[in-house]
């Protein structure tokens, strides 16, 4: 980011740049140090208030700036256009590791700032491109930042080149081609994240590589040179008919009018032979392809480089993988590696590699547990609604977004406790504010800037318009609020209603269409880095930066949920891809999970910001320790459960903050209670209960939301990532004694979710189902919702065994049913003709999401080797066919007279078919002897007779 997001206390109000950080904020421009100051609008050309409007469904946007507003600008407030070549195609990418090439933020620097591609760094200048391998770090800013400072070991160029600027000619998902032209010479260089090679194309002069020190040439064989400078090793490759010639510190090669050459950084001189085969296989493009397998809870990402053989036939290459990639790569890696600010990078051979990640589920909200004080929740919600200023001025894209998000979070909570009046009032408030923003002629509006290919909201803040900063942070609140509305009003989110505008905001941030003429591909997400970059222009000596990683995750979760609710699986899968990929990087790169990212001499346990050149504990304003930690937690939503995927690590991070403070958190305490709940819910609930009447919530939080969060997690326990499910929207918790299962059904038909441990959960359309608490429901659409509440006849789902049938009430007289012996046969899994069969028909009931249970008191007397077995069959619609059939493992009885209890804890032997609501259906119980030569008895009637529990209710 280029602006502070908060000041202490964290409430809306005047903002200024505070605590600007030493090395991170000093900009090297033309050899001079330029201090960054707040962006102004002075000098911007006056704009007419008359704006053209483009309708989109019920809303729309403008194609001209609102009167007095500024779009993308340089540091002096003057409008800027993308710095591209004539043959550049498509909208201009921003928020990249290389964006200072395309966005000239500083009027006196037409080339760009340091570019951190990892493992290499670059710096463009009038004569070409400086290149280096930062292989060691230093601590700066009183030890609060570690950085792998950019180094310049050599410069790629062409003889005679004097270029007035550096322009962008082309780009891929993580590669870029820069262009220089002047003095009769032309240079194009393609570089990228993970690429140990830089690829140069030349015209008008000879290839020229100048070292910044006297090189130690240890290999020279015509067109291939190996040299060491400043202790780092490089290989230079020219065409086979263009040998290198060394003069002083400069190597030249006669590459002709359409020449080329490549330069590679080598881990050691001995690795030259590993790189040489790929010297002329030039990378021309980069693309990530992802596939989400919902049923297998797996995200597969393939990173693909397009290459062109400039000489010979080799089209492969070498690529250095970040730790979050090589830990999950499916193929083999070489023994080559590099140092980087993210830890060790390991090298893959070939033009593609693939990673596989487990998708842990994205929930729209948490259930409200019975142990929470529902009356208190209702009162706290009413207190929020009674506030005088629910949308504090000035109401820009960020602060209004937070205000909408704060209210939207309360909608499912109010619904879950039956406070429907508050639910509907909250929905109306959120809808009204959203519609005000999504309407082109409102006081708040969105404008499409065709020059840059971006949606700009006005009023804006933190450089969202002038610098194209933070669009995922800001617009994520709009998308999440719209998802809550869509949960209760599907028509509102239709493409032809208000959903069309929401999709434009999503496309601005993370559109994937490579042929779009409105937006670049994946603007606010860097596929190779695995996270986003906040600054639109990346105009810093330290590269680009990402502070609030959690707000990037908020956008991803909101996109997945909005896509699912609107029936757009492609959009849902995009959200899952963004969320799952970022979850694999955040704990590692911001919190040093695993201990392999931060240097050993860096004393902090977290960083507030990840930079291109390293990590910084400090943030964009003079905040306290609570804010340094908490900026990468907020906003707390059900999409934040990833922060607890490793409860032990989450607990250690919380204790780290407490140790640093010497006390419990006081600033943003609700954010930290919510984070603490992911490792110790009871402790979080304790802190809330001790202070809930006196603390001030964080600007985007509320007391009822925090109370519901901590009370739920105190009961259900920690996130259990060992269990997955066959839906995109689920979560599993474990409190040490039992698991709780939750899932959300965004569709219009009942859904049975199957978890990897065999548990199934039936979820009504538009509802959140849970085995612990109430999740609330939405608008189910046109699907069959099943029986209405109160129309069933199964009570709470307890059936009783009678002499010849199942009943809903037990017989008052105690008795028994005889189960014939097995006659010495093994009848495991196969009920014989003489099995006891008990049935109950014409049943109506709503599926609860639970499982079959039973308690059968049985006795085989003194018989040896006897075993009793059970099968339960369901016919949900009364058509005479069994829709679900469960066979349970047999129960070996002992050889002592007396009742033993056979229960479902023996486990399922087999289970076929999915649960559905009972509508005139039936339940059938079969009991037989699986083994043994003696009859057994089942106790029925009275107060201790056999029961069958079915997962249905009236």
Distances (CA, A) of 359 to 581, 633, 729, 736: 9, 20, 10, 23
Could you tell me which of 547, 485, 479, 543 has the C-alpha nearest to residue 510?
479
Query: Please, what is the Cα angle at 258 between 255 and 262, to 5 degrees?
Result: 55
Instruction: Kindly tell me the sign of the dihedral angle through the C-alpha atoms of 601, 605, 609, 610.
Output: positive
| Cβ contact 416:711 at 8 Å | no
CA dist., res. 342 & res. 596, Å (int): 8
Strand order from edge to edge, sheet including 154-158: 115-116, 121-125, 128-132, 154-158, 207-211, 250-253, 245-247
Residues with Cβ within 8 Å of 241's Cβ and at least 6 positions away in sequence, in order, are 223
Are the CB atoms for 233 and 220 separated by under 8 Å?
no
Q: Which listed residue (470, 774, 875, 917) is catalytic?
A: 470
**Sheet bearing 197-203, strands edge to edge:** 167-171, 175-182, 185-192, 197-203, 259-266, 232-237, 224-229, 216-221
**What's the CA dihedral at 470, 471, 473, 475 to 10 degrees?**
160
- Could you identify the residue written with the tokens 């009018």? 257
Q: How far apart are CA 147 and CA 180, in angstroms?
A: 29
* Residue 319 Ramachandran class (φ > 0 left, ψ -120 to 50 alpha, else beta): beta
**75: number of CA atoms within 13 Å, CB side?**
19
CA torsion, ordered 683, 686, 692, 698, to nearest 10 deg: 0
What would the two tokens of residue 867 be?
A: 């075993």
H or E element that contains 879:
none
Contacts of 70 (CB under 8 A, 6+ apart): 41, 44, 77, 79, 465, 466
Residue 610 CA to residue 586 CA, distance in Å, equals: 10
Neighbours of 747 (CB within 10 A): 17
Q: Pick the catalytic residue: 74, 551, 680, 698?
A: 551
Q: Is 470 a catalytic residue?
A: yes
User: What distance in Å separates the CA atoms of residue 534 and residue 622, rounded to the nearest whole number?
Assistant: 19
CA 48 to CA 765: how far, in whole Å?
49
b/e per residue 701-720 (b: at least 16 CB within 10 A): bbbbbbbbbbbbbbbbbbbb
Among 918, 949, 948, which Cα is nearest to 791's?
A: 918
3-state SS, 766-779, equals: CEEEECCCECCECC
Question: Strands 224-229 and 232-237: what pairing?
Answer: antiparallel
Residue 926 Cα distances to 204, 401, 834, 868, angstroms: 89, 58, 10, 11
3-state secondary structure of 80: coil
| 551 is a catalytic site residue | yes
Provide the 3-class DSSP secondary structure of residue 919: strand
Q: What is the 3-state secondary structure (H, E, C) of 317-338?
A: CEEEECHHHHCCECCCCCCCEE
The CA distances from residue 789 to 731, 786, 795, 870, in Å, are 26, 9, 11, 30
Distance CA 829, CA 370 (A): 39
Catalytic residue selected from 74, 547, 698, 701 = 547
Active site residue 570: no
Q: Measure the CA–CA gap between 769 and 827, rounded to whole angstroms.
A: 38
Grouping H, G, I as helix, E, B as strand and the rest as coil, residue 391 is coil
Say how far apart CA 937 and CA 945 lie, in whole Å: 12
Which residues are catalytically annotated?
470, 547, 551
């Amino acid at each position: 980011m280029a602006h502070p997001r908060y000041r202490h206390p964290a409430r809306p109000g005047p903002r200024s740049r505070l605590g600007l950080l030493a090395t991170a904020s000093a900009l090297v421009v033309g050899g001079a140090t330029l201090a960054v100051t707040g962006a102004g609008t002075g000098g911007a050309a006056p704009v007419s208030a008359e704006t053209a409007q483009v309708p989109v469904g019920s809303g729309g946007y403008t194609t001209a700036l609102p009167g007095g507003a500024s779009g993308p600008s340089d540091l002096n407030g003057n409008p800027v256009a993308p710095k591209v070549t004539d043959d550049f195609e498509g909208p201009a990418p921003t928020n990249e590791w290389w964006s200072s090439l395309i966005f000239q933020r500083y009027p006196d620097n037409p080339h760009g700032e340091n570019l951190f591609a990892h493992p290499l760094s670059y710096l463009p200048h009038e004569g070409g491109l400086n290149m280096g391998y930062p292989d060691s770090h230093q601590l700066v800013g009183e030890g609060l930042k570690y950085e792998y400072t950019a180094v310049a070991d050599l410069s790629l160029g062409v003889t005679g080149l004097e270029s007035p600027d550096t322009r962008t000619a082309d780009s891929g998902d993580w590669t870029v081609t820069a262009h220089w032209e002047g003095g009769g010479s032309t240079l194009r260089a393609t570089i990228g994240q993970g690429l140990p090679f830089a690829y140069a194309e030349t015209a008008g002069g000879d290839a020229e590589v100048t070292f910044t020190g006297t090189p130690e040439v240890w290999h020279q064989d015509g067109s291939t040179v190996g040299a060491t400078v400043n202790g780092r090793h490089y290989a230079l490759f020219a065409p086979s008919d263009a040998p290198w010639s060394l003069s002083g510190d400069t190597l030249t090669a006669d590459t002709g009018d359409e020449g080329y050459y490549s330069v590679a950084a080598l881990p050691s001189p001995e690795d030259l032979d590993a790189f040489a085969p790929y010297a002329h296989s030039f990378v021309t493009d980069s693309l990530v392809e992802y596939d989400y397998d919902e049923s297998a809870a797996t995200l597969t990402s393939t990173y693909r480089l397009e290459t062109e053989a400039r000489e010979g036939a080799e089209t492969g290459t070498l690529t250095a993988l970040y730790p979050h990639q090589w830990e999950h790569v499916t193929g083999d890696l070489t023994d080559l590696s590099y140092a980087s600010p993210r830890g060790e990078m390991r090298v893959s051979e070939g033009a593609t590699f693939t990673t596989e990640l487990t998708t842990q589920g994205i929930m729209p909200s948490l259930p409200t547990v019975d142990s929470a004080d529902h009356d208190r929740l209702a009162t706290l919600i009413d207190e929020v609604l009674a506030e005088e200023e629910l949308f504090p001025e000035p109401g820009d894209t960020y602060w209004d977004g937070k205000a909408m998000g704060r209210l939207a979070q309360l909608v499912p909570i109010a619904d879950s406790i039956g406070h429907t009046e508050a639910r509907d009032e909250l929905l109306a408030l959120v809808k009204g504010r959203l519609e005000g923003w999504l309407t082109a002629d409102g006081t708040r509006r969105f404008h499409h800037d065709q020059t840059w290919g971006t949606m700009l909201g006005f009023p804006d803040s933190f450089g969202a318009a002038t610098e194209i900063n933070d669009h995922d942070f800001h617009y994520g609140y709009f998308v999440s609020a719209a998802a809550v509305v869509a949960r209760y009003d599907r028509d509102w989110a239709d493409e032809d209603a208000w959903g069309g505008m929401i999709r434009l905001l999503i496309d601005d941030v993370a559109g994937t269409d490579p042929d779009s003429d409105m937006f670049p591909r994946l603007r606010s997400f860097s596929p190779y880095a695995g996270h986003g970059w906040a600054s639109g222009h990346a105009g810093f000596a330290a590269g680009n930066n990402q502070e609030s990683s959690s707000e990037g995750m908020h956008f991803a979760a909101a996109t997945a949920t909005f896509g699912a609710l609107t029936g757009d699986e492609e959009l849902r899968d995009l959200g899952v891809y963004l969320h799952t990929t970022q979850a694999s990087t955040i704990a590692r790169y911001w919190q040093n999970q695993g201990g392999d990212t931060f240097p050993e001499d860096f004393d902090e346990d977290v960083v507030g910001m990840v930079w291109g050149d390293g990590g910084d504990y400090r943030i964009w304003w003079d905040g306290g320790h609570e804010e340094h930690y908490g900026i990468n937690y907020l906003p707390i939503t059900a999409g934040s459960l990833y922060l607890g995927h490793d409860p032990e690590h989450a607990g250690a991070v919380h204790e780290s903050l407490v140790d640093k403070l010497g006390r419990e958190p006081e600033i943003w305490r609700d954010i930290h209670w919510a984070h603490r709940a992911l490792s110790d819910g009871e402790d979080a609930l304790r802190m809330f209960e001790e202070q809930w009447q006196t603390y001030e919530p964080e600007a985007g939080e509320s007391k009822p939301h925090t109370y519901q969060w901590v009370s739920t997690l105190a009961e259900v326990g920690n996130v259990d990532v060992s269990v997955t499910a066959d839906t995109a929207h689920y979560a599993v918790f474990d409190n040490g004694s039992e698991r709780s299962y939750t899932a959300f059904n965004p569709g219009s038909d009942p859904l049975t979710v199957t978890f990897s441990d065999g548990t199934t959960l039936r979820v009504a359309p538009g509802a959140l189902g849970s085995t612990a608490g109430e999740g609330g429901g939405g608008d189910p659409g046109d699907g069959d919702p099943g029986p209405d509440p109160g129309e069933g006849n199964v009570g709470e789902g307890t059936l009783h065994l009678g002499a010849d049938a199942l009943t809903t009430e037990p017989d008052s007289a105690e008795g028994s049913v005889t189960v014939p012996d097995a006659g010495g046969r093994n009848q495991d899994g196969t009920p014989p003709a003489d099995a006891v069969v008990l049935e109950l028909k014409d049943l109506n009931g709503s599926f609860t999401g639970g499982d079959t249970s039973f308690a059968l008191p049985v006795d085989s007397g003194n018989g040896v080797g006897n075993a009793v077995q059970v099968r339960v069959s369901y016919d949900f619609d009364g058509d005479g066919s069994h829709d679900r059939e469960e066979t349970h493992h047999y129960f070996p009885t002992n050889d002592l007279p007396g009742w033993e209890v056979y229960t479902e804890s023996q486990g399922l032997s087999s289970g076929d078919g999915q649960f559905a609501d009972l509508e005139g259906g039936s339940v059938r119980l079969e009991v037989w002897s699986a083994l043994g030569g003696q009859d057994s008895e089942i106790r029925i009637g009275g107060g201790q007779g056999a029961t069958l529990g079915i997962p249905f209710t009236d």
